[in-house]
Structure formats: structure tokens, C-alpha cells
Structure 1
Amino acid sequence: MSHSIYLALDFPSWEETKHFLNTNELTGIPVKVGMELFYREGPAVIEKLRQNNHPVFLDLKLHDIPTTVMKAMQNIARLDVEMINVHALGGAEMIKRAKEGLIVGNAGTTKLIAVTMLTSMNKQVMNKELCIPGEVEDNVTHLAEFAQSSGADGVVCSVHETKKIKEACTNAFLTVTPGIRLAGTEDHDQKRIATPGYARNQGTDYIVIGRSVTKAQEPKLAYERLVKEWNNGLIK
């Protein structure tokens, strides 16, 4: 097990989640819970995972007016998860109030992570659909800098932006990188992707991986390969 690797539990129910973890002997590993599972099962699924010693990254990407996000964070803080995220595009005030909510709820022990640009986006989508000019990397770095100044502990970004963010925000500022794929597996709907070894070599702090493991023919072996690649820093 590596505390730098979060396995995305993108299952529709707790029963399927529990079956997967138990069948593949993955009890206690760090996991990411996203909207699909949380909206079906609610806070109870976090409590069940915590009872089985799973560190949890709660991936809800809050994006609302500052007061609403602050109040939501006060409740989320009571779940005692390792990390929770908001959209950086919600603005500096929203990020500040999110941090306030966590501090009120659990003295700020839960890390606040700001999502920069989703790894499903590329330059064309950013420029033409969102009307945000410039390069993806430059916009991600800008979002990281103001997220840091607003109280965030780190950002969600692609592996390819990690080094520039570390240079701009210092190594202490955390980078959480989804879009991780084992070599030879499908990209699915991600565009800015990388292997675990490449991510380690780029200096990211945490990686998030899902279907390369959960959809593998032998998930336990795929997870073990993931940990090995991360630990060894293999590029392939």
C-alpha cells in the first residue's frame, strides 16, 4: 500500500464497492469517493470506509457561492476525510470560505484541494468552449497561485503541470494528479494523462487512478503493478 496513491471507487453502490475491495483484498488502501457513489450512499459510505481504515479523498468539486460552500465544508469536515476539493474557478473568496468551514468543522485537519482544469479538457475546449484564452499550463499555474494565496493546501492538476506549479508555489504546495493510466490501458475520456512512474518522476505528491485497476481482469495484480511503478519511478 502507498499513501500517495488513491484508488477511485467509481461504483454505483456500497455493495459493489465493498465486494470489489474485499474480493481483491484491498482493505485499508487510500481511496477516492466521487459524486456517483457519494450521491447514492451519502455520508454513510465514508463512515464505512473509515471503519475499514481507508484514508478517503472526497471528490465533490464544490462550486457555489462562498457562504454555501463554507457551510457545506463545516458538515464535510465532520466526516474526517483526508482531502476534499473545490473548483478553483469558484474564485478566491469561495476558497477562503471553504477553508474557514473546514477549520470550524475539524480544526482544518482535512486538506483543501482546488481543482484547476479538469484532465478531460484540452486547449481547444478551454479556448473555444470556455472562452478562456492562453495555454492550459499557464492557466493552471495561475489558478494554483491564487488558490494557494486563498488558503488551499494544494491543487488537482495533470501530471504535465506539476513541475511548473511546484516552481510557482513551492514544493510544500500539494499536487494531486488524476488521469493516471497503467501503460497499455485505455485513455477513456481523459486527455492529459500519464503513467504512475512518469508522475513520480515529475514530483507529484498524490496520484488518482481508477479504471486501469477497477476494470482490469485481475484488479489486485493491477494495483500491485501500480504501486511498483510508483515506487520505482518507471516511465513505461
Structure 2
Amino acid sequence: MKRTRLIAALDTQDLDQARDWAEKLDGTVDAIKLGMEFTYAQGLSAVRSVAGERTLFLDLKLHDIPNTVAKGLTSLAPIGASLLTIHASGGSAMIRAARQAIDAAYPPLHRPILLAVTVLTSIDEAGLREIGVPTTPREQVVRLGRLAMTAGADGLVCSAEEIAPLRDALGEAPVLVVPGIRPAGSDANDQKRIMTPRQAAQAGADWIVVGRPITQAADPATAAAAIQAELAAA
């Protein structure tokens, strides 16, 4: 039976803080995530330093013309990330260029999972209308999911609410990475489309991403262990 894995989002600009969280969470989470906030503040050498031998989700959400995205992914190869993100809304040509770059730049046994971000978990239907997309988040996620997988992505980043529709449309092929996860009783913060870890696991998430409920807890390792227990019981 598939096990849903836990990624801890280390969202900080502070190098010492990121290292401290990573060390405290060793053996408790399945991967760590470093994104734009940390990478832009500290640079790729710091990303490599914090990651060490840990499984790394490097979440930079590349979105540009195909050639620029391809070269960007090639430049990231020395980091050794296990999961990388691009935006599905960049279109099929951009996604194909990303696929080709990864296949060329990374050794076959160490190629990262190429994830296409569908609709951010902070966006609801009103937010989509604001940017000229006259559909529901669910419809847009499935549309972008089909496009991304056809163009060569390995998986998708989606909210928990779109796991079931994506499985119905695309089966088990996509690796589904799900942010916007909040344990019962947690503050939703700026997330709009959320679920608990148990709900996301039951819906079929491959990985869930949890940030503040872990990193802002009095004991991050204990908070992460509680989420792992919830996933195991799903």
C-alpha cells in the first residue's frame, strides 16, 4: 500500500534557522523543502549546505521562455535535488524543454522528479477570475495537469481538493505533491484550499508539504512525528 510521505517546508531567510530546523527534523520527515525565500536570500551554495545528504525538494517554480527554463534547470543540477518545480501555466513547449534539460543534465539514476505547479493553494475561484481564467480551480488544475503530463512532467503540485479529480483524469501516473496541509486546529494562514494530513493521504497524495505547523511548533520534531502518525493511520 502506498505511503504518503512528509516534506517539511523550511521557509526562512536565515541560514542558521534553516540548518537548525533541518537537524531537528532528521529522522522525522521524509524530505525538506527550500524555496524562493531561502534561495534568494542565501544562494545555491547555502541550499546545498543545508540539504547535505537529505532528500531535497527545491521549490523555485521556474516560469519563463523554454530556453531560459531549460538552462535554469541545467544550472541546478549540482545541487542534487530530488524534486524540482516549474509552472504548468508556462505551456507545453516550456515543459518539454524542462524535460529535455533534466534528461540531458542529470545522471539517469539521479534525475529529480519534475513537478508542474498547477494552481497555487492561495488562489480560489475569485482569484482565477481576477486573472482572466473563467473556471473553477478544480477544472483549471485538471486542464493544466493533463497538459503537463502530456508534455513530460513526472508529477504535479496541487491542493488536496484536486487529488481525486486528478486521479480520476490521469490515474496513478502523476506524482502528486500537495501543499496547503494543515493539521486539525492549525491556522490556515494564507492557504485557501486545505485538508488535514489524514484527508490528503486518504485522497491519494504521494507527498504532503507542511511548513508553519511544524517549524513554528514548540518542538518541530514532535509536531512532525504527530503528522507522520496521522499519515500512518490514514
Residue aligning to 1:164: 165
Q: 1:100 to 1:215 in 2, by over 3 A?
A: same
Pairwise CA distance, 1:19: 2.1
Residue aligning to 2:91: 91
Q: Which amino acid aligns with 2:100?
A: E
5+ long unaligned stretches in structure 1: none
Pairwise CA distance, 1:95: 0.5
CA distance in 2, matches of 1:20, 1:215: 10
Residue aligning to 2:124: 122
CA distance in 1, matches of 2:144, 2:25: 38
Residue aligning to 1:16: 17
Pairwise CA distance, 1:90: 0.6
With normalisation by structure 2, the TM-score equals 0.93
CA distance in 2, matches of 1:104, 1:28: 33
5+ long unaligned stretches in structure 2: none
Which has the higher relative contact order, 1 or 2, with Cα contacts under 8 A spaced 6 or more apart? 2
CA contact (8 A) 1:21 1:27 kept: no
Pairwise CA distance, 1:62: 0.5
Q: Which amino acid aligns with 2:189?
A: H
Q: Give the SS at the match of 2:199.
A: helix
Aligned length: 229
1:65 aligns to 2:65 (yes or no): yes
- Residue pairs, 1:178-197, within 5 angstroms: 178-197=179-198
CA distance in 1, matches of 2:171, 2:13: 38
Q: 1:232 to 1:64 in 2, by over 3 A?
A: same
Deviations 1:33-55 (A, max 9, x none): 1101111222212322342x210
Pairwise CA distance, 1:27: 5.9
With normalisation by structure 1, the TM-score equals 0.92
Q: Give the SS at the match of 1:78.
A: helix
Q: Give the SS at the match of 1:94.
A: helix
Q: Which amino acid aligns with 2:159?
A: S
CA distance in 2, matches of 1:68, 1:25: 35
Pairwise CA distance, 1:16: 1.2
